[in-house]
């Protein structure tokens, strides 16, 4: 999912026009229009302040990883389930696909996890703990990354030295431009990604 799709989602979520966002971000309406159409992207160092305006997860806004309004690491927040990507498939749809891949009914799957079939029904709506999501993914033979983003991740392909250097330089630039609160949020998010 491209960053312009994430911007459009956030504008729709808040009911803001591009002009409303332009006023809040102190950026020209033309620039916002380019960001929302995918003709341009904000500078990396600007993203933390944009995430602050949107009150969203800065890592999600930068990369598309995680959830837009992730507040903690234990439960997928319901707000994130309203997020639709091209093709109208969202996290809840992919969770339902994972449940279907197990081959169990909701009642039988609930018994496997020692939860009620109503709980499994809530999973199918996207309300699932991190622990249960990881277990469901393992049972269904899919990755948590796929559930969250729809992207199939090839973890066997190592990152090249130049890709690593580009990423490291981008992170350094972003961290240098961030204020203390933004820097702390970025460091926390990066540590969460590393520890997954």
- Kindly report the pTM of this predicted structure: 0.39
CA atoms within 13 A on the CB side of 40: 10
How far apart are the two ends of the chain, measured CA to CA in Å? 21
At residue 65, the pLDDT reads 77
At residue 61, the pLDDT reads 87
At residue 47, the pLDDT reads 86
Collapsing DSSP to helix, strand or coil, 108 comes out as helix
Instruction: Sketch the domain layout of the chain as residue ranges.
Output: 3-65+158-194, 78-149
Task: Considering the domain delimited by 3-65+158-194, tell me its CATH architecture.
Answer: Orthogonal Bundle (1.10)
Q: Output DSSP code: residue 83.
A: -
Tokens of 37: 């159409």
- pLDDT 10s per residue in the chain (196 long)? 688 888 888 998 888 999 999 988 888 999 999 999 989 888 888 888 898 888 888 888 888 777 787 653 333 333 333 333 333 467 888 898 888 888 888 888 999 999 998 888 888 888 898 899 999 998 888 888 888 887 664 444 556 777 777 777 777 777 777 777 777 777 777 776 666 4
At residue 85, the pLDDT reads 32
Q: Do 7 and 36 contact (CB within 8 A), yes or no?
A: yes
Collapsing DSSP to helix, strand or coil, 75 comes out as strand
At residue 127, the pLDDT reads 86
Q: Among the residues of 39-179, which ranges form H helices?
A: 47-54, 58-63, 91-102, 106-113, 117-124, 130-140, 144-149, 161-177
At residue 159, the pLDDT reads 64
Helix (H) or strand (E) holding 77, with range, is: none
Q: Domain 78-149 has what CATH class?
A: mainly alpha
The Cα–Cα gap between 74 and 87 comes to 28
Query: How would you class 127 by CB atoms within 10 Å of its CB: exposed for 0-12, middle for 13-18, buried for 19 or more?
Result: middle
Q: Output DSSP code: residue 140.
A: H
At residue 192, the pLDDT reads 66
The Cα–Cα gap between 60 and 169 comes to 19
3-65+158-194 and 78-149 agree in CATH topology: yes
């Amino acid at each position: 999912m491209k960053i312009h799709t994430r911007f459009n989602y956030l504008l729709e979520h808040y009911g803001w026009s591009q002009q409303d966002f332009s006023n809040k971000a102190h950026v020209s309406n033309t620039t916002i229009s380019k960001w929302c159409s995918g003709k341009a992207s904000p500078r990396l160092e600007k993203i933390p302040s944009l995430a602050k305006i949107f009150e969203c997860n800065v890592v999600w806004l930068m990369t598309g990883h995680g959830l837009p309004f992730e507040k903690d690491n234990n439960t997928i927040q319901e707000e994130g389930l309203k997020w639709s990507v091209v093709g109208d498939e969202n996290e809840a749809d992919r969770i339902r696909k994972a449940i279907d891949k197990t081959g169990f009914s909701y009642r039988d799957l609930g018994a496997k996890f020692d939860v009620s079939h109503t709980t499994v029904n809530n999973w199918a709506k996207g309300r699932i703990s991190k622990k249960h999501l990881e277990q469901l993914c393992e049972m269904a033979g899919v990755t948590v990354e796929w559930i969250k983003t729809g992207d199939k991740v090839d973890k066997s392909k190592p990152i090249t030295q130049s890709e690593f250097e580009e990423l490291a330089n981008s992170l350094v630039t972003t961290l240098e431009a961030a204020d203390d609160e933004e820097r702390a949020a970025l460091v926390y998010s990066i540590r969460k990604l590393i520890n997954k």
